[in-house]
A and B are shown apart, each in its own frame.
Chain A
């Protein structure tokens, strides 16, 4: 139902900072129909080639990189919102990034919705090629 909003096609790339590849990142929309405070992002999960990425290696920004958060930090971010109109960026810290070649990457995002007992969630699996 919200899967089509997750993991923007063609958005995955390795991230280079000061000449070093520190990891990789991808963009996503929200699996919901309104903006919410970041504390209501229930979870963000990434799997690469069938292996789940450790939760503590994930970083998240909903304002184009002005603020980067760990998932644990986001639990207390109750005023700053992920606006419905905006794509967020999910970054995985992994020195060297994804190795050249094909990978299967899964992104799953869920949001805690006040009136539904289970979080709304969306996921998308994409085949990506690192050059």
Chain B
């Protein structure tokens, strides 16, 4: 029983895309951190995705094999917004999901992470195929849309009803934030001109031990519509101030007790991070605190580094994704045995 570490290639999207590192290049960078596993996004690095040729699949598998990394998960997305004028029907969504399950199987993975807000109606419809391919289906529990969001709650209800070992959750550490990521704050202040009073107001919410998602009342008919009080809105000078507050609801300080509650259903974790500081810790998420709890519940599986600080590079500023992932892996290694005797 032990926490195992991996890296999601989400982290190295810039090194791969703009950096031109290629699949082998990013896999080499991941392996060089000394990590055990890798999580991929087939839509990002497998040319053709679900329609990839055998040649493409063979080459990708050869790269994965060569890297020596364990295949942890494939992050997939049902393109329900495929058409401009309508949302895909549930049957159409299932067709796309089935194609991605087959792709995941061809790539040798046994877990797909479907993105937050996936309709739980797909579960029973694709389960026979998932069983045949031995691929588990887990929805991402992501900050801003975690356990109490109606669609996540609906997935959990269906998951508990179906009660099948191939249906579960991938929990993103972004739900265990205790501070607003300061790289995001800096971006909003310096690139978008968000004012200091607004920043301080949000920081104070975190400092009081809660988070903006719990602090601001939500519209009864729309779970994603937050109502900001006058003492905050009086500081709004332009749209970016309001936008900052809306985006701040995407960082949650959810109780770690949710780990005890949902442990039996959790298939894997995203070790979300925005900034590993010079002191070697994540600025917003106390990994020691989370790992201590993971060890207490006897978590025996992966936590994959998922770097999202690249989103907040200032215009023209270089992105240090490879360096940040290496620092994050070292940080996770330092906390692996927290809470164990």
Contacts and interface: CB of A to CB of B under 8 A. Distances in A.
Interface stretch (B40-48, B160-168, B263-271, B326-334): B40-48
Interface string A27-46: 00100011111011010000
Nearest to A76: B83
Contact of B18 (A5, A40, A115): A5
A117 B151 CA distance: 14
Nearest to B118: A115
Given A4-B313, A84-B17, A117-B224, A34 B44 contact: yes
Interface stretch (B62-70, B74-82, B126-134, B282-290): B74-82
Nearest to B88: A114
A36 B82 CA distance: 9
A83 B77 CA distance: 15
Interface size class, chain B:
20 to 34
Given A39-B83, A42-B84, A81 B44 contact: no
22 contacts: A3-B315, A33-B13, A33-B41, A33-B44, A34-B77, A35-B43, A35-B47, A37-B82, A39-B84, A40-B79, A42-B84, A75-B83, A81-B48, A83-B47, A84-B16, A85-B47, A112-B81, A114-B77, A114-B78, A114-B79, A114-B117, A117-B224
B17 A36 contact: no
Interface string B21-58: 00000000000000000000101110111010000000
Interface residues of A, number: 25
Given A1-B311, A5-B18, A115 B41 contact: no
A51 interface: no
Contacts of A11: none
B10 interface: yes
B214 to A, nearest CB: 21
A35 B49 contact: yes
B309 to A, nearest CB: 11
Contact of A34 (B18, B41, B116, B313): B41
Interface string B115-149: 11110000000000000000000000000000000
Interface of B: 10, 13, 16-18, 41, 43-45, 47-49, 51, 77-84, 115-118, 187, 224, 311-313, 315-316
Contacts of A40: 79, 81-82
A35 B44 contact: yes
A42 B82 CA distance: 10
Contacts of B80: 114
A75 B84 contact: yes
Nearest to B192: A1
Nearest to B187: A1
A42 B316 CA distance: 26
Contacts of A81: 48-49
Given A1-B312, A5-B18, A84-B43, A113 B49 contact: no
Contact of B81 (A1, A33, A83, A113): A113
A70 interface: no
Contacts of B82: 37, 39-40, 78
B240 to A, nearest CB: 12
Interface string A54-90: 0000000000000000000001001101011100000
A33 B115 contact: no
B83 A33 contact: no
Chain B CB within 10 Å — which of A4, A5, A39, A81 has the most?
A4
